[in-house]
Structure 1
Amino acid sequence: MVLYSKLHMGSFLLFLFFASSLAISSVSASNGMTVYEILTQYGLPSGLLPDSVKNFSHTDDGSFVVELEKPCYVQFGNLISYAQKITGTIKYGSITKLDGIKVKRFLLWLDVDEIRVDLPPSDFIYFQVGFINKKLDAGQFKTVRSCKDGLSCHGSWKDILKVPTPIKEVPMLLTE
């Protein structure tokens, strides 16, 4: 019985070790840097990604994979949509071959293909959407923002389709 509980306790401690290792890897890469530190190391603002990064990997050739807890939205000047998995290639001052980030323009969701900053760094960041380049103030991307789910960002379909309640008429008092 004592041997069984020591084995059971050992298994439990081993489980805790692996669970804590997974939690640590979701916050930092193998070299101990967070994804936000890697962005700034490449001359990009850390706020390009939301605060819900679960895991990420980065290779020597610059390709990366970022996994979020779930797909979500962040409101900047425009509404930005993040897929649960974001991939691309990071180089100093740019992210190319980007997949997993969209921007809402009017009623359309458009893929962001590339993100870059001026070299030497200036106060602007450029988002390439198809053949269109959108120049934005880089300051709005310096802070890592909280990711919102689709309902909290847009309201639910029930709210959109809800018939407004009529306003009760208030009798006016006539005074003479």
Structure 2
Amino acid sequence: MATLHRGFSPSSFLLLLLLLLVSSSSASPVHEILTKYGFPPGLLPDAAKHYVLSPHGDFVVELGNPCYVKFTDLVYYEKTIKGKLEFGQISDLSGIQVKKLFAWLPITGIVAPPNKGNVEFQVGFLSEVFPVKMFEQIPSCRAKAGSSCRGAESLFISEVFLPFP
């Protein structure tokens, strides 16, 4: 029987490789709950691993650290994201901000109408609609976003343009 380096047989190596592929391609429970409620999994970054969901739909998602994701706009995810989850709708959302021109605006709600193929992001009474295919893949987080960072890196910009943390 042929063996590979360090005593692995070809069949054990193949099994190990298969397990690695399956584990790296599957979504985390946080992303699976999004799809269960009618949302694409890519609304939250790969850093979102832990969540609590109450029977009434109130949720808390914890990230390892705050981070940025570039979609069509730059999006900032705080370490803690909270809101209320119903099928096709997230309301009372806090912890996600989008950069529009020179200001960071809080995303307050997200709506994914069934069979419409789009996702609507709400910022107060304003909203913007994007195709659902933009959020099918789970995005990777970046710790920094250059000169457009939130937090300590851009304290001056935040103080001037944002009245909220």
TM-score (ref. length: structure 2): 0.70
| Secondary structure at 1:36 match in 2 | helix
Match of residue 134 from structure 1: 128
Shift of 1:54: 3.8
Could you say if the C-alpha distance between residues 156 and 45 of structure 1 is closer, same or farther in structure 2, counting changes exceeding 3 Å?
A: closer
Within 2, Cα distance between the matches of 1:155 and 1:113? 25
The one-letter code matched in structure 2 to 1:47 is G
Which whole-Å deviations, capped at 9, do the CAs of 1:69-116 have from their partners, x for residues lacking one? 000000001111000000001000011000000000001000000000
Shift of 1:156: 8.8
Which whole-Å deviations, capped at 9, do the CAs of 1:19-65 have from their partners, x for residues lacking one? xxxxxxxxx9xxxx801110000000110000012421111100110
The one-letter code matched in structure 2 to 1:107 is F
Match of residue 75 from structure 1: 70
Shift of 1:155: 5.3
Could you say if the C-alpha distance between residues 38 and 108 of structure 1 is closer, same or farther in structure 2, counting changes exceeding 3 Å?
A: same
TM-score (ref. length: structure 1): 0.66
Match of residue 122 from structure 1: 116
CA RMSD of aligned residues (A): 1.8
Structure (1 or 2) with the larger CA radius of gyration: 1
- Name stretches of at least 5 consecutive residues in structure 2 with no aligned partner: 1-26, 150-165
Instruction: Give the counterpart of 2:146 among 154, 159, 170.
Output: 154
Could you say if the C-alpha distance between residues 54 and 43 of structure 1 is closer, same or farther in structure 2, counting changes exceeding 3 Å?
A: closer
Q: After superposition, where does 1:72-111 map in structure 2 within 5 Å?
A: 72-111=67-106
Could you say if the C-alpha distance between residues 68 and 58 of structure 1 is closer, same or farther in structure 2, counting changes exceeding 3 Å?
A: same
Could you say if the C-alpha distance between residues 156 and 89 of structure 1 is closer, same or farther in structure 2, counting changes exceeding 3 Å?
A: closer
The one-letter code matched in structure 2 to 1:75 is K
Within 1, Cα distance between the matches of 2:48 and 2:40? 15
| Secondary structure at 2:142 match in 1 | coil
Within 1, Cα distance between the matches of 2:92 and 2:63? 18
CA contact (8 A) 2:47 2:140 kept: yes
Within 1, Cα distance between the matches of 2:96 and 2:54? 20
Within 2, Cα distance between the matches of 1:156 and 1:106? 10
Instruction: Give the counterpart of 1:59 among 54, 58, 67.
Output: 54
CA contact (8 A) 1:43 1:121 kept: no
Give runs of ≥4 in structure 1 deviating > 3 Å.
none
- Name stretches of at least 5 consecutive residues in structure 1 with no aligned partner: 1-27, 158-176
Equivalent residues, number: 123
Percent identical residues: 40
